Amino acid sequence: MGNDDLPMDEKAKRMRDLLSSFYSPDPSMLVSNNSPSKYASLDAINTPSFDPDQYMNLLTKSLVTTVNGLDPDQSMNLLVQKSNLEGLLQRHVEMAAEIKNLDTDLQMLNVFSWFSRGTNLEHVFIYNSSISRMNSNIVGMEANMEQLLEKIMSMQSRSDGVNTSLFEKREHIEKLHRTRNLLCKVQFIYDLPTKLNKCIKSGAYADAVRFYTGAAPIFKAYGDSSFRDCKRASEEAVLTIIKNLQGKIFSDSESIQSRAEAVVLLKRLDFPVDSLKSQLLEKLEQFLSQLQLEQCETANDSNHSNEPSNQGNAEATTHEASVVWTDVLLIDEVLPEAGLADFSLEAAHVAIKQYVTSRFSHLIQDISDSLTAQTGEKDGEEYSLLVTLEASKKTVVQGSMDILSDFRQLLDDKLDLLMKLKGYIIDWVQEGFQNFFRSLDDQFLFLSGKNETVSQDQGITDGLHGEKVLARLVLVLAQLSVFIEKSAIPREIAASFSGGGVQDYKHGPAFIPGEICRIFRSTGEKFLHLCVNMKTQKISVVLKKRFTTPNWVKHKEPREVHMFVDLFLQELEAIRMEVKQILPQGLVHRHHRSESTGSTTSSRSNPLRDDKLIRSNTPKGRSQLLETHLAKLFKQKLDIFTKVEYTQESVVTTIVKLCLKSFQEFVRLQTFNRSGFQQIQLDIHFLRTPLKEIAEDEAVVDFLLDEVIVAASERCLDPIPLEPPILEKLVQAKLAKSKEQNPPTA
């Protein structure tokens, strides 16, 4: 076949040229695949002077692709062969593909020849001959292939030879390598103590621990024999490390992060972590309580500091909280099982709650201070109730608004920790307000001395304050209650609440302005009543003394208006002055009425009264009088005890009415002779004018004064009234005398 090589090639080439000239296929599609570079590289691999490192690389690489089940010892050898064989196989495949191509080419040519047969017989002939030649070519190729195989086989055997010759060398290298590693390790272990000490010195505990844990298995295995000294030395070093780490953990000066790291290192050193953990937890608890303390301190600080610094308190608190929270987050990262976040949340819970309550209690203290500060100073000559009232009002509103803005600021800071508690905080603040106003109410009651169970210990001292101060205070309290009910809550506080309305109510809003308003409305009324009662009581004492001291049955003829009227009027005037300071004026003005009804009533009532008194001497006339009098009383009864209103006139009038009623009752308890009766008549006559000036309701005052005279006449054994001219004379004398005594007031 070898002889035919050349002509075959020639033929084929010609044939191809022919075909290409005819159909223009790719001219170089056959032989080009025989690239010698692969052989070269394979040869290069197989050269004995290969680089061991490269070899190692190759080894690792090829391990991945090696056929399973091969003995690792032989792997190297095989691989040398394999890379060769691969090349061969590749070539074989390529050739097979060539053959296939040729086959298809042939078939195609056949087809073409069929087509062209009819057109060109010559062509047909050429085709036929070329086909037969190609056939023989292919046969020739088969022989070539066999030759090739032979070559491959020989190459393989040769490479085997190379391999075996290299094997020993390789093994040796490997051994050397292992020994070197071992030596390194031994070196490392011998160096360990010094290294550890170095680490301790430099504080690189993490490295030290890493070194030690690396060496630990060796110490475990050989520690008793060859490395004893070494082991001892390093263990000592490690002990110092542990000690240092522990110290680090429990030292407060270290940052939380480094402490956490220390814990991790200790854990790696197989230190009994459980005990450590408990210790640490204790420590952390301490830490937490400390945090709490800090918060409390902040809260306290903010409470004890005065107004100017109030604004900054919320900031301080938030700042504190934020610091704490970042710390906590750090701890939480390294020690999730400690549940620090929960702890701190709880702590924050408590702290904020405390803060809220303390804020409110402080505010209450402020308010009561401002109330008592001025009213309490008995000596302070010029203290006006108005000032007290205004100051208290301001304290209430300003204090509440401060608290609100503080908390709003707290919420606006969007601190993580606080955001979690946001709902709670809002609830607390609302609840706080609710409780605040409730306890403010209690405090008011306490201050008024009304709530005696509360004032258990202070009752005595309060009593010492004297009725005067207390009554003033009560008046202020009454007005303050009204203020809170009418404007402070609905306008200021409730309004700002609705502005900051947050959805997070679980049981509905905790702050119910309506309820508070109701409470304060009733409290205000209570105080007003209390105030009126106190004033009346005071005048009652004057009246009582007046009626119990003299012997009315043996009374002497009246010479002048009795002194007690001065006292009585003086008291009323004082009340009027006080009331004037605080309470608003009523809508109805006095002069308005005195022009119309008042004057007519008084002018009419005088002769009527005299008439009555004269007639009352006879039994028949008396019963008649009684009837008319009863009818009158029935008609006007509701007018006497009307509801007290928050106006100057109403309060003063109520007091006058109550006092006159008391007057009547005192009279009813006595028995008078004629002179005693006349004395009462005279006193009442004198009182008539000033009382009508003081009180709003002239008709009722007239009526009540008449009632006193009627009562006196009923209780008189011989009720003969003084003649009007004498009355007038005595009254004028009294007026002149009082003018004389104190001209400036007149």
Interaction site with another protein (CB under 8 A): 452-453, 456, 529, 533-534, 536-537, 540, 548, 553-554, 619, 626, 630, 633-634, 637-638, 640-641, 658, 661-662, 665, 668, 671, 714-717
CA distance linking residue 39 with residue 701, whole number of Å: 139
> Nearest approach, Cβ of 731 to another protein (angstroms)?
28
Nearer to another protein, 5 or 452 (CB): 452
> Nearest approach, Cβ of 665 to another protein (angstroms)?
5
> Nearest approach, Cβ of 530 to another protein (angstroms)?
9
DSSP H helices, 377-512, are 385-412, 416-420, 422-448, 459-464, 466-483, 494-499
CA distance linking residue 422 with residue 417, whole number of Å: 9
> Nearest approach, Cβ of 626 to another protein (angstroms)?
7
Nearer to another protein, 291 or 471 (CB): 471
Nearer to another protein, 392 or 654 (CB): 654
Nearer to another protein, 238 or 474 (CB): 474
Nearer to another protein, 328 or 660 (CB): 660
Nearer to another protein, 417 or 613 (CB): 613
> Nearest approach, Cβ of 566 to another protein (angstroms)?
23
CA distance linking residue 535 with residue 571, whole number of Å: 8
Nearer to another protein, 414 or 554 (CB): 554
Nearer to another protein, 50 or 666 (CB): 666
b (16+ CB within 10 A) / e for 423-443: ebbbbbbbbbbbbbbeebbeb
Secondary structure (DSSP) of 260-325 = HHHHHHHHHTT--HHHHHHHHHHHHHHHHHHHHHHHHHHHHHHHHS-HHHHHHHHHHHHHHHHHHH
> Nearest approach, Cβ of 678 to another protein (angstroms)?
16
Nearer to another protein, 179 or 522 (CB): 522
Return the amino acid letter for 451: N
Whether the Cβ atoms of residue 485 and residue 517 lie closer than 8 Å to each other: yes
Return the amino acid letter for 342: D
Nearer to another protein, 359 or 526 (CB): 526
Whether the Cβ atoms of residue 367 and residue 395 lie closer than 8 Å to each other: yes
CA distance linking residue 711 with residue 664, whole number of Å: 6
CA distance linking residue 591 with residue 577, whole number of Å: 19
CA distance linking residue 76 with residue 46, whole number of Å: 11
CA distance linking residue 375 with residue 388, whole number of Å: 7
CA distance linking residue 529 with residue 229, whole number of Å: 97
> Nearest approach, Cβ of 582 to another protein (angstroms)?
21
- Using CB atoms within 10 Å of the CB of residue 652, give its burial: 0 to 12 exposed, 13 to 18 middle, 19+ buried: buried
> Nearest approach, Cβ of 587 to another protein (angstroms)?
23
> Nearest approach, Cβ of 525 to another protein (angstroms)?
10
| φ and ψ at residue 716, rounded to 5 degrees | -105, 135
b (16+ CB within 10 A) / e for 705-717: bbbbbbbbbbbbe
- Using CB atoms within 10 Å of the CB of residue 594, give its burial: 0 to 12 exposed, 13 to 18 middle, 19+ buried: middle
Nearer to another protein, 521 or 661 (CB): 661
> Nearest approach, Cβ of 461 to another protein (angstroms)?
15
> Nearest approach, Cβ of 536 to another protein (angstroms)?
6
